[in-house]
């Protein structure tokens, strides 16, 4: 059958793939994978190949974006091609674009979902999913340029009482991963410019490291404490809470070591 199957690998290592995803992988004629949109700290490609008996062809950003995924499409026209993606396959817009392009070329596509950092971070923090607003990525600061978008998104969500989930930028090819400390430093620089008292030393923030792993770290507290907290190796994620329900405050205290006084901030 000529088709392209997008399979989510999950969050931490090769064991996170679903049973359905594993079955699909074993039946594939060709297997591709990309590792530039996210980071799976425990993943071993060798072990994944041993589990499935399939060789995994790792493709770069150039293959998927500049060459518009033609390698994947050519393989799918000859048989069953599988595309492995960290987390859930359709979270990244690049993958949505690939699926649309495949369908336009007459290639059947299917999606086998995997655990995503979107739900994992929200769940592990104890904050209620329906109270999140728009998410945003905090990018690396390049040559002194600092994007104001994260600051603006946090502000707009806060006005509505909503939480903000901040993804932290990565450059997988150079093995560079933005940390919680670096992200908070960027936001403090923006605060100096904007002067709106949105991001200060007493702003409540939540840092999450390695969600989905055997030893995730979740720490809630005021920025002055969290910025110096040792979260260990990436991937890191940052959350700015909006108005807290009393159960959310209790969750942050019990699960993330937040100060007891945040009970007074809850509704």
Write the burial class of residue 94 (CB in 10 Å: 0-12 exposed, 13-18 middle, 19+ buried): middle
Report the pLDDT averaged over residues 102-121.
95
Any idea what DSSP says for residue 264? G
Question: Cα–Cα distance between 190 and 144 in angstroms, integer?
Answer: 12
> Phi and psi for 238 in degrees, rounded to 5?
-125, 140
- Residue-averaged pLDDT of the chain: 94
> Phi and psi for 59 in degrees, rounded to 5?
-110, 150
Percentage of the chain exceeding pLDDT 70: 99
Residues of the chain with CATH 3.30.950.10: 117-265
The CATH class of 117-265 is alpha beta
* Cα maximum dimension of the chain: 62
* pLDDT confidence tier of residue 134, bands split at 50, 70 and 90: very high
User: Is the Cβ–Cβ distance between 231 and 180 less than 8 Å?
Assistant: yes
* pLDDT confidence tier of residue 61, bands split at 50, 70 and 90: confident
Q: What is 3-112's CATH number?
A: 3.40.1010.10
Please tell me the predicted confidence (pLDDT) of residue 66: 83
pLDDT at 169 over 70: yes
Q: H or E segment at 183?
A: helix 180-194
Within 8 A by CB and 6+ apart from 17, the residues are 7, 8, 9, 10, 25, 48, 114
Question: Cα–Cα distance between 158 and 57 in angstroms, integer?
Answer: 43
Classify residue 94 as left (phi > 0), alpha (psi -120 to 50) or beta. Answer: alpha
pLDDT at 143 over 70: no
Within 8 A by CB and 6+ apart from 213, the residues are 11, 12, 41, 42
Residues of the chain with CATH 3.40.1010.10: 3-112
* pLDDT confidence tier of residue 130, bands split at 50, 70 and 90: very high
């Amino acid at each position: 059958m000529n088709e392209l199957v997008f399979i989510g690998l999950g969050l931490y290592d090769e064991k996170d793939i679903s049973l359905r995803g594993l079955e699909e992988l074993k039946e594939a004629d060709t297997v591709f994978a990309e590792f530039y949109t996210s980071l799976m700290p425990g993943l071993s490609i060798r072990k994944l190949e041993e589990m499935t008996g399939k060789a995994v062809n790792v493709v770069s950003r150039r293959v998927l974006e500049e060459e518009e995924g033609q390698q994947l499409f050519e393989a799918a026209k000859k048989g069953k091609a599988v595309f492995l993606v960290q987390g859930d396959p359709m979270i990244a817009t690049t993958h949505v674009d690939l699926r649309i392009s495949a369908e336009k070329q007459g290639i059947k596509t299917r999606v086998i979902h995997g655990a995503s950092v979107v739900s994992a971070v929200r769940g592990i923090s104890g904050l209620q999913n329906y109270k999140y607003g728009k998410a945003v990525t905090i990018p690396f600061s390049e040559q002194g340029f600092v994007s104001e978008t994260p600051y603006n998104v946090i502000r707009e969500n806060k006005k509505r009482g909503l939480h903000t989930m901040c993804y932290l930028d990565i450059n997988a090819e150079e093995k560079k991963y933005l940390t919680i400390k670096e992200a908070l430093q960027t936001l403090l620089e923006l605060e100096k410019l904007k002067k709106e008292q949105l991001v200060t030393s007493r702003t409540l923030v939540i840092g999450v490291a390695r969600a989905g792993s055997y030893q995730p770290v979740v720490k809630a507290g005021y920025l002055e404490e969290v910025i110096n907290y040792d979260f260990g190796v990436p991937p890191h994620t940052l959350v700015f809470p909006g108005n807290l329900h009393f159960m959310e405050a209790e969750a942050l205290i019990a699960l993330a070591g937040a100060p007891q006084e945040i009970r007074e901030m809850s509704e």
